[in-house]
Structure 1
């Protein structure tokens, strides 16, 4: 073990030299040598570290780009069909390509983190996204667009799994993750209105590929941001933290505070036995054999798929079935994403102040989500489309907190050895639903009943989500521990 008093010169400007040594144990910051590398461990409490705040904000900015990119496809489906002369099934191949990328990351999440570290995975994800959008901005053939969306899926899967796992272990994880996924909602909320305003301008309207050039420029900025913000998140640090996470919270807290022994002296970092750590983190094989992980992953698969499908196909549904204009339809979709953003940010602070646990909170959110989608279906049968706006907003509010609350619930019910590979798999596999279900709805759209079935399918999947959460509570609720993070 080594003690480096200059390990965090940029974490808190008020801490330098001996003052860092005096406050290191208090803030949970320390350095250690692991596998011939100096590992920098920062506080997990954003209040205690300016650098951690910078990392969190950087993650938020990337998730805004995530939302902008994710909702771009749904908004541009009518433009794709007009430009490439394709039908709904052909347009849906974009979603299928995206899910291929997502599933690649679902199955390689732990392997990629082990070999690249959190920084490497985030850089790989942002580079992959940027490459995809830059390619699409060149007016390629539709087959090339589909191929490039594989890289889009790899990018989103990398970012989703990595930041979800990393932030899920921070102090105030409900709030921090809620805002993270709220930033995704901000991107989704902005995208339809922004694209419509640019493409439907009366003077000098944009062509749709130009918007992808904007995304690629934003992506390039995010690449630089990830390199700087996560510079200390190396592969060896990932391996070290993965192994130490198998210890109970009480043990970790005692070790973090062991520098203060009552005499005012401080020690270096908590001792770690390399041999004892070798088998403390679950392998990928163990992860995919866990029924509990698969249940969480399938729950998120259907939940995310439903959320993205609603945002992706609602514009087509409203223009074709309800005869709304392209601009009106995009505004209604933005209303849904505005509700989702508000729900993720606000309800993240409400969850444990109203409900006993995240498990009961998520059950309430899934029921209210089902009622929201069902109400949208009923309202869409009538002729008064103005009622769809408040319904879409309030539905989005309750859809919003489900993803972050599910991540926290899985962390508090899964054994500690699954907290790295398992959470990464759950996030990436769950995110794949955001491509599969929109693709399946595209298949339905070409059937004789067409998009008339869209709100029915959305409601049925929401009902299935509620049932799946009841199964999770019944089967694993007894494992819940508020002290597992």
Structure 2
């Protein structure tokens, strides 16, 4: 019992480490940008390289698990993030930052897909929600670590500390790599697998992919444009807008930790519907709320967003079967990262044409697509089981 609890604790620790680098670049970029004398928008190039690497590795995760096993894959993936973070810490020019972003993205995508599938197959829904809550802890801690070093303009020191923490985790996972259970599809790897297109044609998969694309669109757009909307449309001071935007992520993290307890008495279907409705209510409040009242909308949106992503992931084996769960989860996460990469720039382009006043309307459209796709997915899955 003690051994299983410690192993579960290791899984949570992996997700904290996954979140550590995710929000650091934006914090360090003003200093890095000034030192390397590149355009402020160049940070988007690095973020896109990380996203592309994440998408590519997500698609290959199942194949790699079959070849080297879950534990070995996680060891190698975390080590890739160590290489990427070390590369950032020693970079002397922008090109080296771009090169270092490649292993960072490749490592993150494989970790995300492998661990999410592992938890979906071996643990109950509350653990999936708590797992993603712990990602939020990492995403909150990363900027704190970097902020400490930025007091002396030493952004490289922040990346060195993050790389050291990741390397410490590599050692722990390496020592426990044989304890990771192989998923059912690995044991059957000698059999012919369904093609990717046949997986997409499986009942309900398309609706699931739509859910992931538009949900992460909401989350990514909130992070990139939420503060600008408050400043430009609501006439809220920059410092206040930054705090109000942070309430979204604080609510998201707290909500995921709380959602784990809700799974004890709410079905996944009810939890998804309630969460998606709360998200849409939050968008409405943010749009029509005046002044600081709009912050309540940010809180509602964070709480509404909290359970959607982890619950959809956890439901994958139950909806589509354990045989192909890892491959379908790879598809879901790859499409999620695609949404993260594409939808915020799309919103920015439309905002250039019509103004940021369209921000909440697009968010409402994205949220409505998530709710509608969830309803259709649940109908298809129910009809298939009948």
Q: Say yes or no: does 1:361 pair with 2:271.
A: yes
Counterpart of 1:430 (choices 336, 339, 351) is: 336
**What residue is the counterpart of 1:293 in the other structure?**
205
Equivalent of 1:463, from 365, 368, 372? 368
More helix by share: 2
Residues 110 and 424, structure 1, Cα contact 8 Å, conserved in 2: yes
Superposed CA deviations along residues 333-378 of structure 1, whole A, max 9, x for unmatched, are 4322221111111112213513xx3123212211211221332233
Shift of 1:398: 1.7
| Structure 2: stretches of 5+ with no match in the other structure | none
Partner SS, residue 416 of structure 1 = coil
Equivalent pairs counted in the alignment come to 384
Deviates more, 1:214-223 or 1:301-310: 301-310
SS in 1 for 2:265: helix
1:407-431 residue CA offsets vs partner (Å, 9 max, x unmatched)? 2322222133222322333234324
Larger Rg: 1
What is the rounded CA distance, in whole Å, between the counterparts of 1:76 and 1:451 in structure 2? 26
TM-score of the superposition, structure 2-length normalised?
0.86
Deviation at residue 60 of structure 1 after TM alignment: 1.1
Tell me how far apart the structure 1 counterparts of residues 353 and 57 of structure 2 sit (CA, whole Å): 35
Residue in 1 that maps onto 2:313:
407
Comparing 135-144 with 216-225, greater Cα deviation is found at 135-144
Picking from 17, 20, 25, the partner of 1:68 is 20
Superposed CA deviations along residues 215-247 of structure 1, whole A, max 9, x for unmatched, are 2122212212221233333xxx636x3266xxx
Tell whether 2:193 aligns with 1:242.
Answer: no
Q: Kindly state the Cα deviation for residue 388 of structure 1 after the two structures are TM-superposed.
A: 4.1
State the shift of 1:439 in Å.
Answer: 4.3
Aligned equivalent of 2:260, options 320, 323, 348: 348
Residue 189 of structure 1 is matched in structure 2 by 140
1:215 maps to 2:155: no
Q: Which residue of 1 aligns with 2:380?
A: 475
CA 1:211 to 1:346, structure 2 compared with 1: closer, same or farther past 3 Å? same
Please, what is the CA RMSD of the aligned residues? 3.1
Partners of 1:212 and 1:441 in 2: CA distance: 31
Native 8 Å contact 1:373 1:459 kept in 2: yes
In structure 2, how many angstroms separate the alpha carbons of the residues matched to 1:376 and 1:182?
24
Measured in 2, the distance between the counterparts of 1:442 and 1:148 equals: 27
1:179 and 2:130 correspond: yes
- Partner-residue secondary structure (3-state), 2:179: coil
TM-aligned CA distance change 1:408 to 1:77, over 3 Å: same
1:178-327 alignment, distance < 5 Å = 178-192=129-143, 195-196=146-147, 199=150, 204-233=151-180, 238=182, 241-242=184-185, 278-279=190-191, 282=194, 284=196, 286-290=198-202, 292-315=204-227, 322=235, 324-325=237-238
Distance 1:75 1:479, change over 3 A: farther
Q: How does 1:2-21 map to 2 (within 5 A)?
A: none
Contact 2:282–2:300 (CA under 8 A) maintained in structure 1: yes
- Shift of the alpha carbon at 1:184? 1.0
Query: Could you tell me how far apart the structure 1 residues matched to 2:348 and 2:26 are?
Result: 11
> Partners in 2 of 1:325 and 1:59 — Cα distance?
37
CA positional deviation for 1:79: 5.0
- For 2:81, which of 118, 129, 136 is the aligned residue? 129
Aligned-partner Cα distance in 2 for 1:439–1:95: 12
Q: Which residue of 1 aligns with 2:283?
A: 373
Residues of 1 paired with 2:328 and 2:343: CA distance? 23
Gap change, CA 1:135 and 1:329, over 3 Å in 2:
farther
The alignment partner of 2:21 has SS state of: helix
The answer to whether structure 1 residue 145 and structure 2 residue 97 are counterparts is yes
> Secondary structure of the equivalent of 1:163?
helix
Aligned to 1:37: none
Structure 1 residues 299 and 80, CA gap change in structure 2 (3 angstroms): farther
Q: Within 2, Cα distance between the matches of 1:82 and 1:465?
A: 40
Q: Give distance in 2, aligned partners of 1:434 and 1:402.
A: 15
2:300 is aligned to: 394
Structure 1 residue 182 displacement after superposition:
0.5
**How high is the TM-score relative to the length of structure 1?**
0.70
CA distance in 2, matches of 1:392, 1:300: 20
